[in-house]
Amino acid sequence: MNVVEKIIAGDVRTAARLIREIEDEHPETRKTLQKLHTHTGNAYVIGITGAPGVGKSTLVDQMIYHLRKQNKSVGVIAVDPTSPFSGGALLGDRVRMQRHSLDKDVFIRSLAARCHAGGLSASTQSVIDVLDAMGKDIIIVETVGVGQGEIDVVKSAHTTIVVVIPGMGDEIQAFKAGILEVGQIFLINKSDRAGAVQTLENLKAMIALNQHKLSAEGWVPPVLMAEAVHNKGVAELLQTAEDHRRHVDALSLECKYRHNREKAAAQFSAMIKDRLVEDVLKQLSATRRYQQAVDAIAQGAKDPYSACDDLLSAILRISLEKEE
């Protein structure tokens, strides 16, 4: 069996190796991913995002438990922000999901977050494709909500759950960063803590205020309460995700196409960004013109701003000419 066949057959070791290669940005993985792509589109992708400490991993662990009871196979992609200092700090979180580690229908992988345009989003999408081709029914993408890169990640999910805890003042911050537009469900975890009701009211008010932006598809994001650590509210959360899925399924064809096109556009833009930075810059920097620009800057003969303008306008001109 070749790699594609092995992955479709659910071979965990082959999948793990391919995921490592995606992380390492092996250019050869693209050929495999191209072939895998025709075998994708069956999994339902749930995004989970929220600040460190809101209990995402515990929540995901409980979600796995419920989904397994429904006999659904589950893939989990935990996106870690890579830090040269505290890179290992999040390993503890993974440990919390260990009770599922012997279940062959649960596949959990951490993905290091590289801080470059579209890179994270593009590689997460590729890993989603791998898990999808493996036949996972539900794929959960867990990401700590730090920065635009990570917000982009959850844009490719079918349903995104934004997790907050009472009294974090998250509501306002979330609103500012466009989290509101990204979440289809808001969950107040650790809802036994003081301030839960206040947080609930705030979130609901904010959603109501922004309804004109959100209701293009007629879905008003509900705000739920949970205590994931006591397994409270988790079944309701999954039911609400299922409601959202049905809601989208029931949209008119035109509306559904617009929905799909938006997802495709986000995914394509992330991929182009990633490749622009990786491939185009690499090839560009090998050109004589580029090296001459660096010389001129180092010698003080040219300022970097003008050098950058000159180089890019040349590229843009020829790209746009070609179009006409």
Q: What sign does the dihedral 145-249-243-63 (CA atoms) show?
A: negative
8 binds its own copies (CB under 8 A): no
150 binds its own copies (CB under 8 A): yes
Q: What is the DSSP letter of 215?
A: G
> Which residue type sits at 193?
R
Could you give the string, one character per residue 29-68, with x where binding to its own copies holds by CB under 8 A and - elsewhere?
-x--xx--xx--x--------xxx----------------
Q: Is 11 helix (H, G, I), strand (E, B) or coil?
A: coil
Q: What sign does the dihedral 66-68-71-72 (CA atoms) show?
A: positive
Q: In angstroms, what is the minimal distance from the CB of 152 to its own copies?
A: 9
83 binds its own copies (CB under 8 A): yes
Could you give the string, one character per residue 180-219, with x where binding to its own copies holds by CB under 8 A and - elsewhere?
----------------------------------------
Q: Which of 131, 141, 126, 145 is nearest to 23 (CA)?
A: 126
Contacting its own copies within 155-184 (CB under 8 A): 164, 168-170, 173-174, 176-179
Q: Which is closer to its own copies, CB of 67 or CB of 270? A: 270
Q: What sign does the dihedral 23-27-32-35 (CA atoms) show?
A: positive
Helices (H) and strands (E) in the chain, counts: 16, 7
Size of the site for its own copies (CB under 8 A): 90
Contacting its own copies within 123-142 (CB under 8 A): 125
- 80, two tokens: 């870690």
Stretch that binds its own copies, among 70-78, 134-142, 241-249, 296-304 (CB under 8 A): 296-304
18 binds its own copies (CB under 8 A): no
Q: What is the DSSP letter of 199?
A: H
Find the binder of its own copies among 47, 55, 75, 118 (CB under 8 A).
118
